[in-house]
């Protein structure tokens, strides 16, 4: 009986449709090379934030930015050297990927200039020029930040915040809003005063800087350009900041002598 049962089992196995003993695991999806390149450049930019010295940190970021520019140039001018997918490569500037990605962090599009002004005034109460604590939801992620500062222009909200939040010593620095308004063109403009110390090893003191910032709004109501102007000469500001005290005293004495000679 046992042999008969064994026979029927063999027969059934022969008649049953054949199938592999084990199903091989599906091959992992191949990464999108365009996304991989963008992610690699952005990761390099993010890694540069760990450099403590502001000067060398910015230089490292410039190298990453320049690498992206060179890559775009090579793809455009030497198409035969690259695969077909590279022809569609449009790199977002490194460090300019969206700052916010979690749920509930959508951009506040469609705000009136008056509403944007109210948010900007709140940011100034938090002294965002010193702390970097602004409201990202009213800015375009690719916002252009321009001004006399040698670290500007910068395109990308995340880039700007990374630089501004490590520039000033918050314990000894302050930024004060002196006036604000909506312009005739429908943008937001503010006047301000900034003073304090830079986060450099010798903590240089900056002269009191007064200036104006224009927040240019795009069609969606987001700030697409942050345009800064100083009322002090750039050379004077940086000489006062970086020159040792004895050099400042020598320069002040020299200016006094020149003024006396001119008056005579």
What are 25-83's pLDDT values in tens digits? 665 665 555 556 666 767 776 777 677 666 676 677 677 766 666 666 665 665 566 55
Angle at Cα 114 formed by Cα 108 and Cα 120, nearest 5°? 65
What distance in Å separates the CA atoms of residue 16 and residue 39, rounded to the nearest whole number? 50
Is this structure's pTM higher than 0.75? no
Strands 205-217 and 223-230, bridge-based pairing: antiparallel
Sheet holding 188-197, edge to edge: 154-155, 139-146, 223-230, 205-217, 188-197, 174-182
How much of the chain exceeds pLDDT 70, in percent? 52
Residue-level pLDDT at 241: 61
What distance in Å separates the CA atoms of residue 261 and residue 264, rounded to the nearest whole number? 5
What distance in Å separates the CA atoms of residue 175 and residue 192, rounded to the nearest whole number? 7
Those residues whose C-beta lies under 8 Å from the C-beta of residue 132, and which sit 6 or more positions away, are 161, 164, 165, 166
What distance in Å separates the CA atoms of residue 38 and residue 98, rounded to the nearest whole number? 13
Residue-level pLDDT at 161: 82
Collapsing DSSP states into helix, strand and coil, what is residue 155?
strand
pLDDT at 111 over 90: yes
Half-sphere exposure of 232 (CA within 13 A, CB side): 18
| DSSP of 125-154 | HTTHHHH----GGGEEEEEEEESSSTT--E
Give helix 245-263 / helix 234-242 axis angle, nearest 10°.
130
- 230 close to 148: Cβ distance less than 8 angstroms: yes
Mean pLDDT of the chain: 74
For 168-190, the pLDDT digits (tens) are 888 999 999 999 999 999 999 99
Segment (H or E) for 71: helix 54-77
pLDDT at 11 over 50: no
What distance in Å separates the CA atoms of residue 54 and residue 244, rounded to the nearest whole number? 19
């Amino acid at each position: 009986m046992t042999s008969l049962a064994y026979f029927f089992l063999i027969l059934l196995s022969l008649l049953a449709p054949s199938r592999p003993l084990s199903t091989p695991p599906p091959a992992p999806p191949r990464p999108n090379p365009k996304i991989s390149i963008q992610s690699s450049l952005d990761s390099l930019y993010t890694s540069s934030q760990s450099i403590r010295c502001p000067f060398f940190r910015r230089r490292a970021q410039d190298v990453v930015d320049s690498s992206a520019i060179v890559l775009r140039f090579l793809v455009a001018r030497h198409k035969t050297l690259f695969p077909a997918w590279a022809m569609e490569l449009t790199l977002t500037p490194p460090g300019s990927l969206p700052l916010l990605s979690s749920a509930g962090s959508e951009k506040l599009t469609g705000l009136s200039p008056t509403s944007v002004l109210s948010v900007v005034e709140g940011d100034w109460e938090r002294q965002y020029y010193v702390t970097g604590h602004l409201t990202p939801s009213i800015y375009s992620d690719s916002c252009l930040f321009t001004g006399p500062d040698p670290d500007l222009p910068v395109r990308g909200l995340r880039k700007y915040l990374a630089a501004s939040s490590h520039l000033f010593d918050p314990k000894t620095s302050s930024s004060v809003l002196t006036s604000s308004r909506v312009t005739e063109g429908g943008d937001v403009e503010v006047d301000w005063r900034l003073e304090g110390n830079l986060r450099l090893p010798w903590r240089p003191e900056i002269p009191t800087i007064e200036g104006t910032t224009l927040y240019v709004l795009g069609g969606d109501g987001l700030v697409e350009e942050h345009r800064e102007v100083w009322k002090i000469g750039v050379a004077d500001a940086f000489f006062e900041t970086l020159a040792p005290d004895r050099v400042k005293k020598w320069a002040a004495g020299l200016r006094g002598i020149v003024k006396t000679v001119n008056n005579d």
